[in-house]
Amino acid sequence: MPGINKCKETMTARERVLKTFNLEKTDRVTIGYEGNQSINQKLIRELNAKDYEEMLDLLGVDYRGVMPPYKGPFLFKQLPDRRTDPVDGYNMRWVEHQTGGYWDFCDFPLKDAADEEIEAFPIPDPDDFDIRSACDYIQSLHGRYAIYIGHAGVPDVLNSNGRIMGMEDVLVHLALENEAAIGFFNRRADMYLKVMDRTLDQCRGMIDFMWLGEDLGTQIAPMISLELYRRTIKPIHKKFVDLAKAYNIPVIMHTCGSSSWAYEDLVEIGIRGVDTLQPEAVNMSPEYLKEKFGGRLCFRGCISTAGPLAYGTAGETREYCRRTLEIMMKGYGYHFAPTHCIQDNSPVENVVAMYQAAHDFGVYRY
């Protein structure tokens, strides 16, 4: 049965992750993983793991995430044949394709909405999140992995609000600086901020970093101007970074597409790492990122889910990962990970080759 031959480790996962954020030498690169449900199941079978958690262990993944589950009343209109998110209220429909399927966003509840509708759209009460269970989960993992709070959908002004009102409406509202919409963006962000603050307080000393998200770029250009980002979105990001500073933990931000145009501002407010790093997008290659921001940011990602991992052979995947590691390991501060969730179209043998490459070529020998 094929598996992962893990390299020798001389650090705990937590030590490794914190040193990576500090741009210090580690025994090997920090390792992360994201995949959709279908590829997860294929990997579990391929690695002969009993479940998802054991699969992550076999790959060498160094951290686990937590956000308290919502336990309050359902606040949104439920549509037939749709899955509605209980926290943000967006709708999804199941779409099948040749290798499986996925839940696609649709029926945007605030599309073309009047200001009064936007102002009335419900936001869950922070009191209705089960922080105790989140702390129990963290306690069960403490000492085994680094723990982060948040995810790529927090606060994620552009993309996550696009799920609620459609991306066009979000961009128009931002460009016009519509008070109702920007007020809604801030109310949603403040709800997450309060939940994370309470969790950090109750789990003091057991959460190691904060993970935020903002899809800032298309494949070829910024989503919005730097000036508009600074006026409308950057202040929201700063609230979360300031919260992390209050608990003395670093922040990494998921940034899809061509996003390096905003990295100087992310550094300025205190963000320590950036995630996703699609190498095919403009000004996002490993060489460019290391030249412009090496020594100031740690990097997570750069292993494209649209390259050899999906369309090449296991050997081509291995060589692609080796080249990326050779660039990104210089100066330390690299989290080895895919650019997005690994999709159904990636052969499972390529995914195994990807993570074997991390253990073979991701060891610091100097």
For residue 286, give every residue at least 6 positions away whose Cβ sits within 8 Å of its Cβ, in sequence order, or none. 277, 279, 299, 302, 324, 327, 328
> Tokens representing 174?
């931002």
Strand ranges for 98-236 from DSSP E: 100-106, 146-155, 209-213
Sequential DSSP letters for 16-47: HHHHHHTT---SB-EE---B-HHHHHHHHHHT
Lateral strand order in the sheet of 91-97: 83-84, 91-97, 100-106
DSSP strand pairing (298-303 vs 209-213): unpaired
CB 196 within 8 A of CB 243: yes
* Residue pointed to by tokens 């943000």: 88
Closest CA to 363 of 10, 2, 59: 10
- How many whole angstroms from its chain centre is CA 30? 15
Return d(Cα 154, Cα 156) in angstroms, integer. Answer: 5
Closest CA to 212 of 234, 229, 182: 234
Return d(Cα 264, Cα 190) in angstroms, integer. Answer: 24
Class of the CATH-defined domain 13-361: alpha beta
Q: pTM (2 decimals)?
A: 0.96
Closest CA to 365 of 80, 118, 5, 8: 8
Closest CA to 360 of 2, 4, 7, 3: 7
Closest CA to 216 of 282, 126, 169: 282
Residue-level pLDDT, tens digit, the chain, 366 residues? 468 999 999 999 999 999 999 999 999 999 999 999 999 999 999 999 999 999 999 999 999 999 999 999 999 999 999 999 999 999 999 998 887 788 999 999 999 999 999 999 999 999 999 999 999 999 999 889 999 999 999 999 999 999 999 999 999 999 999 999 999 999 999 999 999 999 999 999 999 999 999 999 999 999 999 999 999 999 999 999 999 999 999 999 999 999 999 999 999 999 999 999 999 999 999 999 999 999 999 999 999 999 999 999 999 999 999 999 999 999 999 999 999 999 989 999 999 999 999 999 999 987
Q: Is 43 exposed, middle or buried (0-12, 13-18, 19+ CB in 10 A)?
A: buried
